[in-house]
Structure 1
Amino acid sequence: MQLLLLLLAAVLVAAEPAAAISTMPMELYFSPGELARIAGYGEEPVSTVVVSGQVACELCLCPGSDLLTFELPGAKVEVACETEGPNTQANSVFTATDEFGNFTFHLPSRLHATPSLENACVVKVLQLPPDSACGLRHRPAASYRIRPSPSLSSSADGFRAYTAGVIRLQHGGTPSGECVQVEDRVDK
């Protein structure tokens, strides 16, 4: 269908005198929907962009104890992208973490053409499950930058992957710096 429309446009343009070509833009021949499909922004996705990461809680029961890290299932997470235009809600996507604290967003096609996606988009943890030992006291709706995913970074076949890494929230009690990191322990 797209090829037929392009051929029709080429025939019409070739039939017009040279002076008329400069005054007859494509908008006169095609509807906005057809122009979007021709440009690759139609209903059929021409690319896939995913953003993934994990939300974890670090808990230190008392100074000198082990720093415990566990995943946070059921946390509400958002990817928000700054784009041109007034509708910021349309530039956000929401999901919840799975049973392992992982999240994956498939960004809508309207955000695929955002220049420098890693600079325009951030991940925010909006809400934790009510029974969570961690709290959003770290800074409510703090922003975490995304970066190209080293393991899945490929723009071949229209697939791009980004990661926020592990977002580590801390329990409000003992600062994690006063705890023993598991890798710091020496087994004797």
Structure 2
Amino acid sequence: MNSFLRLLIPKAFVVVFVVFIFGSSSLLGELSDMEEVVRWAGYGEEKLSTVVISGTIICNADQNPYSNPHPVSGAEVSVVCGAKRWPRAKGRTDGSGKFAIDVPSHLHGVPNLEKVCHVRVVHLPPTSPCGKAKHNNKSISLSSTDQGIRTYTTHNIHLTPPL
């Protein structure tokens, strides 16, 4: 009986596989065009939503957060999400220390994005007085929602040089 089953199982697998392929050929034919597949999955040229995380990095060169702040231009920041803290998106600050990161579409549907994702200062330019400042994760908060655009902010990220 065992030898009979050993012969029957591979043949049954082939029959099921052939039925599956030919039975689903109409679905595969409809979705064979790559553009259609991309559109169907929600990743086409038409963006369904936009999520932006913005903020400003400020260096307080004299250890006092309220006197003589300087914007940090050219700093690299990243959005990190989840337990593994892998960077999900990156950006750079402009001349006034501001950054705006367009979050990838696969994160748009994450519930409570402000509890799961943070902004991390990855690199500061060596010319900045805060170039060796310690970088901590900065939480984000929802600041506005308008016409399919959600904007989160870190507000100001204050850095001070080490003593």
TM-score between both structures, scaled by the size of structure 1 = 0.61
- Work out whether residues 88 and 104 of structure 2, in 8 Å CA contact, stay in contact via their aligned partners in 1: no
Superposed CA RMSD in Å reads: 3.0
Greater strand share, structure number = 2
Identical-residue share of aligned pairs (%): 37
Give the letter for the 2:138 counterpart: Y
Aligned pairs for 1:81-160 within 5 A: 81-82=81-82, 92-138=88-134, 140=135, 142-149=136-143, 153-154=144-145, 156-160=146-150
State the structure with more CA Rg.
2
- Work out whether residues 135 and 169 of structure 1, in 8 Å CA contact, stay in contact via their aligned partners in 2: no
**What's 1:182 paired with?**
none
| Structure 1 runs not aligned, ≥5 long | 1-23, 174-188
- Post-superposition shift, 1:31? 4.0
- Work out whether residues 135 and 172 of structure 1, in 8 Å CA contact, stay in contact via their aligned partners in 2: no
1:165 is aligned to 2:161: no
- Post-superposition shift, 1:68? 1.8
What is the total number of aligned residue pairs between the two structures?
136
- Post-superposition shift, 1:110? 1.6
- Post-superposition shift, 1:39? 5.6
Supply the distance in 2 between the matched residues of 1:105 and 1:165 (Cα, whole angstroms): 14
| Structure 2 runs not aligned, ≥5 long | 1-22
- Post-superposition shift, 1:72? 0.4
The 3 A distance-change label for structure 1 pair 136 and 144 is farther
Q: Deviations over 1:8-31 (max 9, x none)?
A: xxxxxxxxxxxxxxxx99xx5764
